[in-house]
Structure 1
Amino acid sequence: MTSGLLLIDKAQGWTSHDVVARTRRLAGTRKVGHAGTLDPMATGLLVLGIDSATRLLTYVVGQGKEYLATIRLGQSTTTDDAEGDELTRAPVEQVAAITPEAVAAGIENLTGDISQQPSAVSAIKVDGKRAYARVRAGEDVQLPSRPVTVSGFELFASTPGDGFLDLEVRVECSSGTYIRALARDLGVALGVGGHLTVLRRTRIGPFRIENAATLEQINVVANLISPADAATRLLARLDLSVEQAIDLGHGKRITVKEDTTRTGPVAAIAPDGRLVGLVEYRGDQAKSLLNFPPDLPGKIAEPPASVIEPEQGS
């Protein structure tokens, strides 16, 4: 069976689980996973792994991300986004009094290395149970703050409305950053409350939305990124000889040129372009961390005649 990564442009209203379930049918395999959940309200890039390439998702999850978003100032919600119930609404005159300078200062204070409290309605586990499930069960969930990095927070446009102010922004951030929490915290800093109304993920590490396809458009065979291509985008590359590829495939260590700069996993590529595995340097030796079997004969299943209707998840 062919393995690799797929870049999906997720539609609004679909859960990440919906996308995985649909892709299992398209790819004809149960072994499909994703790197980084997107809320149903959000659209944009979802990276999926097919068969043995699911093992590469570990190295995708921790990559930096980019989002386009709309932050609505003047109103806070229970979920910090448009799907929640209204908590507070600021007086119209208070929202109208927000100056561009105040917005710029608020954005600057949320840029760089910051401490962020994730939204209570999130997928973070608390004692083995998702935080959002505890909130729905009526529990008061207060998640601890954690360090995140917002490397870019750029304002594109500011549009006033009837008692609110919409900010169109671009955010580049580390894995684990909640854009909903940035909207909430900017609203708090400006004294009017805030929440997210639009969220679109446009990049995860080296993978961009421009190279993704919707589930209606996707051709699994044509759009599949091979394990070797994916691994060398994510990690440093080691080109093997035929003998080294055989030895690594059998779990043996191989002799390499010592390189103290290579501290993490390295993608080991056979002369025929196949990903043999991921290795770790130990002086002048490379030790196998993870082997990738050659793709087995097989074919991708034909697309089904009808599309699975997405659940309206949370």
Structure 2
Amino acid sequence: MKPPSNPRSGILLVDKPQGITSHDVVARARKSIGTRKVGHAGTLDPMATGLLVLGVNNSTRLLTWIVGLDKEYTATIRLGAASNTDDADGDLGQRVDAAALAAVSAEAIATEVAALTGPISQRPSSVSAIKVDGTRAYTLVRAGEEIVLAERPVTVRAFDVLDTRRADWIDLDVRVECSTGTYIRALARDLGAALGVGGHLTALRRTRIGPFTVDAASGLDADLAPAMLEPAEVATTLFAQVRLDAQHSADLAHGKRIPLSVESDRPIAAIDPDGRLIGLVENIAGRAHVLVNFPPDTRHEEGTA
């Protein structure tokens, strides 16, 4: 008989190290916490570091509302050659000569960075996880197929050049705030193309997802179970809240449309008298319509080996 799994639900902020996949992080979190039910709100490439938001047990239901939040990154863009993966993990194309690189002025960089800021149309990297006829694009590329994905609208709210280093390359340390679905690798590619010298990403770190920052995240070497955030804490950080009495809490948990005075065009977090998240609801004509419920955590036995 396997030991009982950890029934506790919560949201976990993890600082992903370089060189492992996001799925590796999930696997290690499962082992550390003692449960199989762990999901994530958006992956990071193996070369990238920074914030991963994990949902544990019933709190995986919250991930739907976290994955679409704005993101913030710091990155290093290298100008002087393109890459077939738009980053340093791929094969570099021909490098431009020193004269062409020297001709790229700070003013030209600023102009093209500004052109990539705001609402833009972006072609995702061909090695992204976007599916093409049911298969991930990166799988097709690694099998030798040439993939050109359709452009899509994204918003780059900030694209700041923090430092510029000139030697054999031009390396730009940048900070980017963007909508979900924005590819920083694609920004590097497009900036290099606009400047006529090619560009690719050499470092990437996700520093924020919505209100959650990497400064509050745990390393993978930590005991992760105590680091989980309570579902109610997360939900009330993201949404307006309504505090319910015991009767209304029970009614809502059973799907009844209880009276609701809180107005919001986004979900509303319903909290019971003990501070537990009952569900996310929307106000329709003064009644709470349940978007998703969060049952109490219940310990159970795993099946036999």
TM-score interval, normalised by the smaller of the two chains: over 0.9
- 1:118 is paired with a residue whose SS is coil
Deviation of 1:140 (Å): 1.1
**Cα displacement (A) at 1:288:** 1.4
Distance 1:258 1:55, change over 3 A: closer
Aligned to 2:141: 135
| Counterpart contact for 1:280–1:288, Cα < 8 Å | yes
Distance 1:119 1:284 in 2: 45
**Secondary structure of 1:225's aligned partner:** coil
Q: What is the SS of the residue equivalent to 1:79? A: coil
Q: How many Å separate the matches in 2 of 1:25 and 1:221?
A: 10
Q: Which amino acid aligns with 2:228?
A: L
Task: Point out where structure 1 has 5 or more consecutive residues left out of the alignment.
Answer: 300-314
TM-score, reference length from structure 2: 0.94
Aligned partner of 2:180 in structure 1 is 175
Two-structure CA RMSD over aligned residues (Å)? 1.2
Q: State the Cα distance separating 1:237 from its structure 2 match.
A: 1.3
- 2:296 is matched with 294
User: Of 3, 8, 11, which residue of structure 1 is paired with 2:9?
Assistant: 3
1: CA distance, partners of 2:225 / 2:132: 39
SS at match of 1:45: strand
CA deviations on 1:183-238 (whole Å, 9 max, x unpaired) are 00000010000000000000000100000011012x22321101111111122212
- Matched ranges for 1:1-314 at <5 A: 1-162=7-168, 164-217=169-222, 219-257=223-261, 259=263, 262-297=264-299
Q: Aligned letter for 2:122?
A: Q
Which range moved further: 169-178 or 234-243?
234-243
Q: For the residues of structure 2 that align with 1:115 and 1:21, how far apart are their CA atoms?
A: 35
Tell me how far 1:257 sits from its aligned partner. Answer: 1.7
Q: How many residues align?
A: 295
1:258 and 1:283 in contact (8 A); partners too: no
What's 1:302 paired with?
Answer: none
The answer to whether the Cα contact below 8 Å between 1:258 and 1:285 also exists between their aligned partners in 2 is no
1:69-95: CA deviation from partner (whole Å, max 9, x where unpaired) = 000000111100000001231111111
Conserved 8 A contact 2:10-2:230: yes
Q: Please report the TM-score for the alignment, with normalisation by the length of structure 1.
A: 0.92
Deviates more, 1:61-70 or 1:289-298: 289-298
What CA distance in whole angstroms lies between the structure 1 residues aligned with 2:19 and 2:262? 50
Structure 1 counterpart of 2:13, which letter? Answer: L
* Counterpart contact for 2:77–2:174, Cα < 8 Å: yes
Residue-by-residue CA offset, 1:57-110 (whole Å, 9 max, x unaligned) = 111100000000000000111100000001231111111111110010010000
Q: How far apart, CA to CA, are the structure 2 residues paired with 1:76 and 1:142?
A: 16
How far residue 296 of structure 1 moved from its aligned partner, in angstroms, is: 2.1
Q: Aligned partners of 2:237 and 2:81: how far apart in 1? A: 41
Structure 2: tracts of 5 or more residues without a match: 1-6
Does the Cα contact within 8 Å between 2:162 and 2:173 map onto a contact in 1? yes
3-state secondary structure, aligned to 2:126: coil
Distance apart, 1:298 and its partner CA: 7.5
Give yes or no for contact 1:264–1:280 (8 Å, CA) kept in 2: yes
Amino acid at match of 1:280: E
Task: Check the 8 A contact 1:278/1:289 in 2, yes or no.
Answer: yes
Counterpart-to-counterpart distance in 1, 2:103 and 2:300? 64
